Structure 1
Amino acid sequence: MASLSLSSIAGSDHHRPLCVDLDGTLIYSDMLHETVLGILRVAPLASLCLPFWLLRGKANLKQNVAMRAEFDPATLPYNLDLVDWLRQQHTLGRRLILCTASDHSIADPIARHLGVFDEVISSDGMVNLGGANKAKALVDRFGERGFDYAGNSSADLAVWEHARRAIIVNASGQVQSDAEACAEVEAVFEGRNSGFAVWRKVLRVHQWLKNALLFVPLFASHRVADGEAWMALLLAFVAFSLCASSVYIANDLLDLESDRQHPRKCKRPFAAGAVPVWQGVLLAPVLLAVSLLVAAQVSSPFLAWLVAYFGVTCLYSIQLKQLVLIDSLTLAMLYTLRIVAGAAAVGMVLSFWLLAFSVFLFLSLAFVKRFAELQVQLLHGKHKAHGRGYLTDDAPLVQMLGVTAGFSSVLVLALYLNSEDVLRMYQSPHWVWGTVPVMLFWISWVWLRAHRGEMHDDPLIFAVRDKASLSAGAAFALFLTIGTVG
């Protein structure tokens, strides 16, 4: 929301040009940070040139980065309150100028997309138009106090000192106070609140539920009373959760373009500009380092599996998720790897049956995820899922593969229940057979909901919110418990 001073409605001042900053003001993000990430995504080898470009000046760095990075101005996280106000000012005949330290090859497409700016003043590869340089350029062009200026940071104070009026956007309390001392304030557009709820989304805390798979080997081997194993697995859970959060952050940073074209993922903190991308760049390696330190306290085999999980996840984020079928197989392996790591944490050897059941079940859920995403893209009239190798026409085939994998997991479970291991481990093995119809129901239920377009694109979120899924999970656990105690 914006608070406007009475002077902002004075019609006699609409002839005075209004210069608007880009990074952090017109958009919630920073285009230099985003374009550098874009280079890391599409041309990682070119990132080795960044220090050499910077040696020739920040303007040269921005120009070289902008030349190699692609972006869609329509998907950027605009400050919509400010944009609406600028449209009103444009309608009233006010001259609007986009004045930014970003390179002209970045600023020009954004100005054309919005269609409210009469002119663009930006960096040109020689002069970095920020701070004092921006102030000098505007004073040379419009004279002392001959323009109004909208900005957000302490670097803009040098401009506000020479401006007639200040429009304060998305600024801290200190910057706002300093700006009020420099110039008459015409309008204030308050920033977003990046509190606990936002950071919970950044870390994807709800995704930590997947790491409960680490405890599966403990229950499968009937070692629930082993206190030492519980302590090891709790540390393992913390290590995996922190590692997963670091990977999610890196994935969100590399996937900004795709997320912004997705109807739900566009609301993620980095895609929406609620959290600056530079904070994610700093946080991801810190979380990974802490994760590895915690994992080292568990055991060397567990640490090795955690490193393997991190490596495969990075490969998935960078390349594998763009490959048809390989992406779903990789997701299934990553789920199964959690169970393998849990076994390593407590010094267990996994059975063939548990591994086979896990692979088929998680492959089915991976196909559910892809099918749900394709359903969303199809509803929005798109022929291809952005950032994925699938066409929307592939949805029926993905559905068939997923259903087949799901029922294959039930078949493995049924064969396992006829093995000598079940007779040895369960007091009343005939009760354990109750898990088979439960699994048949749940797999069918999940795919029925997906077919109806009622599936969240993350099956985990669906499962923990769906009453039928929770009831099926409770029934599954009940049959196993009765079979164990007799």
Structure 2
Amino acid sequence: MTGASPVAPGPAAGGRVLVVDLDGTLLRSDMLHECFWNALSRNPRVLAGSVAALRGGRAALKDWLAARCDIPVATLPYDPRVIARVEAWRAAGGRTALVTATEARIARAIADHLGLFDEVHGTAEGVNLKGAAKADFLTRTYGARGFDYIGDSAADLAVWDVAEGAVSVGAAPRVRAALDRRAGARAEHLPPLAPAGPAIRRALRPQQWLKNLLVFVPMLANLHVDPAALLAAVGAFVALSLTASSGYVLNDLLDLTDDRSHPRKRLRPFAQGSLSAATGTWLFPVLLAAGLAVALAVGPLLFAVVALYFVATMAYSVSLKRHTMVDICMLATLFTLRIIAGGVAIGLELSVWLLAVSMFLFFALAAVKRLAELTDLQAAGRDVSRRGYRVEDRGVLSQMAVASGYLAVLVLALYIDEPGVQEKFGAPWMLWGVCPLLIFWISRMVMLAARGEMQDDPMVWALETPTSRKVLVLIAVFVVLAVVL
């Protein structure tokens, strides 16, 4: 349960030891959940194994996960205020100890990396070092009032009861109030570094919900707009948005290790510690349940499509995104499922033409996404991406994006010449104006991605970039003129 750092202990300031908790205190996350998601990202079978290990208690689960995760401790999100406190205590000649419910081997690795602690104590030998168990251990080791304690949660109240100095870090209001009642003037509080609300909104990625506007495509393509259909399409949009957000949270949890070494993704809420991995563990199932509930309210068929969308998203996040080319095909499928969801919601049979255009177009967008990532990779001086693509694949990806995009335009052109289309639109010849606009839009998108000037997902970029928005407006104008003339 104990490990010593190479730092020699100095004379204790006032005879007390500064004891620091890890999860939520020194670390802006939770190592049990960090280990779980790290291990799961490496092997999906960890889920079943974790359930089996938990039967032996939390200490057994922590030991089991610690043997299966590989977390670079240097990239973990530490709280600089707590580190500054420990450094100041040591500078004054005091002894420091990291005492945590985290598994002892992981706690020791973190302590060795930071080089700030004279002692390290963590969960081991079947003892979960938390709450009353931690309080009892610290009393036996240092004596009652023989230490100051920095913690964060309700479980730490038992420890603060036997500590001399009491410091809370980012604690909930009820925990701060309880600590004030118990410790009085001995209590000190460090507020959260940032409010959780904005971080949760960022984790949901509401800007990505723009992709779910695709659910309205079947209704518009069939000129089938009425209040009931519109309400059903809105329901499909909400259901997919909530489900997609659950998938984004899941993806961020599975990608924590990789994201922390990425120049942009390291700023995501879970990667930078604005949100703990523990928060994400409950957030994604809540979002999923809400999304499925909305889908079921619209209809059982939409529920089935949304459920399939989530399963496909999960398969992509856990495994498929690591397989070259499979990931691109899967992304194109996920986009197309959004259009299918829109058709199912309003009870329309989707045309083969619409599905063909969507598959070719979204394959092109997925290829552009990988092209942009490889361009960034090249700029960073790296050769191989997490998806297995190499920098030299940029030319092939560029060709695939252009070819698939132009095929989408060709299918659209053939569709315009269909007799049914000629009957449906008052001036079907106006639809030909859409084709050169799409060729321009696809060509420009591929060119910017190759130059490294595309920083976002292509769909988000398409809706947020001024030139792209102008193209989309012109396309809408041509479609409206084809209907009304």
In 2, Cα distance between the equivalents of 1:41 and 1:470?
37
Q: How much is the aligned-residue C-alpha RMSD, in angstroms? A: 2.5
2:256 corresponds in structure 1 to 256
What SS does structure 1 have at the residue aligned with 2:168? strand
2:457 corresponds in structure 1 to 458
In 1, Cα distance between the equivalents of 2:383 and 2:81?
33
Q: 1:31 to 1:89 in 2, by over 3 A?
A: same
Matches within 5 A, 1:322-361: 322-361=322-361
CA contact (8 A) 1:166 1:183 kept: no
What SS does structure 2 have at the residue aligned with 1:433? helix
* TM-score, normalised with respect to structure 1: 0.90
Bigger shift: residues 105-114 or 371-380: 371-380
Q: 1:39 to 1:412 in 2, by over 3 A?
A: same
In 1, Cα distance between the equivalents of 2:259 and 2:425?
47
2:152 corresponds in structure 1 to 152
CA contact (8 A) 1:16 1:146 kept: yes
In 2, Cα distance between the equivalents of 1:375 and 1:116?
40
In 2, Cα distance between the equivalents of 1:61 and 1:12?
36
Query: How far does residue 78 in structure 1 lie from its aligned partner after superposition?
Result: 1.4
Query: How far does residue 22 in structure 1 lie from its aligned partner after superposition?
Result: 0.3
Query: How far does residue 477 in structure 1 lie from its aligned partner after superposition?
Result: 0.5
Q: What letter corresponds to residue 385 of structure 1 in structure 2?
A: S
The question of 1:82 aligning with 2:104 is answered no
Matches within 5 A, 1:346-385: 346-385=346-385
CA contact (8 A) 1:373 1:457 kept: no
Task: Note the alpha carbon deviations across 1:290-329, whole angstroms, 9 max, x for none.
Answer: 3333323434433332232222222111111111011011
CA contact (8 A) 1:37 1:253 kept: yes
Q: What letter corresponds to residue 432 of structure 2 in structure 1?
A: W
Task: Note the alpha carbon deviations across 1:381-422, whole angstroms, 9 max, x for none.
Answer: 333323x22233433322222222222222222333333333
Query: How far does residue 17 in structure 1 lie from its aligned partner after superposition?
Result: 2.7
Query: How far does residue 27 in structure 1 lie from its aligned partner after superposition?
Result: 0.8
In 1, Cα distance between the equivalents of 2:296 and 2:46?
35
In 1, Cα distance between the equivalents of 2:216 and 2:231?
11
In 2, Cα distance between the equivalents of 1:285 and 1:458?
24
CA contact (8 A) 1:100 1:130 kept: yes
What SS does structure 1 have at the residue aligned with 2:429? helix
Q: 1:398 to 1:187 in 2, by over 3 A?
A: farther
1:217 corresponds in structure 2 to 218
1:241 corresponds in structure 2 to 241
In 2, Cα distance between the equivalents of 1:90 and 1:469?
57
Q: 1:316 to 1:49 in 2, by over 3 A?
A: closer
Q: What letter corresponds to residue 18 of structure 2 in structure 1?
A: L
Bigger shift: residues 17-26 or 257-266: 257-266
In 2, Cα distance between the equivalents of 1:12 and 1:139?
17
CA contact (8 A) 1:66 1:103 kept: yes
Q: 1:162 to 1:286 in 2, by over 3 A?
A: closer
Bigger shift: residues 62-71 or 131-140: 131-140
Task: Note the alpha carbon deviations across 1:243-262, whole angstroms, 9 max, x for none.
Answer: 22222222222222222222
Q: 1:143 to 1:195 in 2, by over 3 A?
A: closer
Q: 1:347 to 1:128 in 2, by over 3 A?
A: closer
1:7 corresponds in structure 2 to none
The question of 1:404 aligning with 2:373 is answered no
CA contact (8 A) 1:160 1:183 kept: no
What SS does structure 2 have at the residue aligned with 1:71? coil
Identical residues among aligned pairs (%): 42
CA contact (8 A) 2:102 2:122 kept: yes
In 2, Cα distance between the equivalents of 1:15 and 1:194?
36
CA contact (8 A) 1:100 1:122 kept: yes
In 2, Cα distance between the equivalents of 1:227 and 1:174?
47
What SS does structure 2 have at the residue aligned with 1:333? helix
Query: How far does residue 139 in structure 1 lie from its aligned partner after superposition?
Result: 3.0
Bigger shift: residues 471-480 or 41-50: 41-50
CA contact (8 A) 1:100 1:107 kept: yes
What SS does structure 2 have at the residue aligned with 1:349? coil
1:6 corresponds in structure 2 to none
CA contact (8 A) 2:409 2:439 kept: yes
Q: 1:184 to 1:393 in 2, by over 3 A?
A: farther
In 1, Cα distance between the equivalents of 2:391 and 2:118?
41
CA contact (8 A) 1:438 1:476 kept: yes
2:7 corresponds in structure 1 to none
1:30 corresponds in structure 2 to 30
Q: Paired residues, what number?
A: 474
Bigger shift: residues 31-40 or 319-328: 31-40
Q: What letter corresponds to residue 464 of structure 2 in structure 1?
A: R
CA contact (8 A) 2:239 2:292 kept: yes
Query: How far does residue 92 in structure 1 lie from its aligned partner after superposition?
Result: 4.7
Q: 1:167 to 1:303 in 2, by over 3 A?
A: closer
Task: Note the alpha carbon deviations across 1:39-88, whole angstroms, 9 max, x for none.
Answer: 33333434434455344443233212211222111221211232244334
2:442 corresponds in structure 1 to 443
In 2, Cα distance between the equivalents of 1:379 and 1:478?
39
What SS does structure 2 have at the residue aligned with 1:68? coil
CA contact (8 A) 1:438 1:472 kept: yes
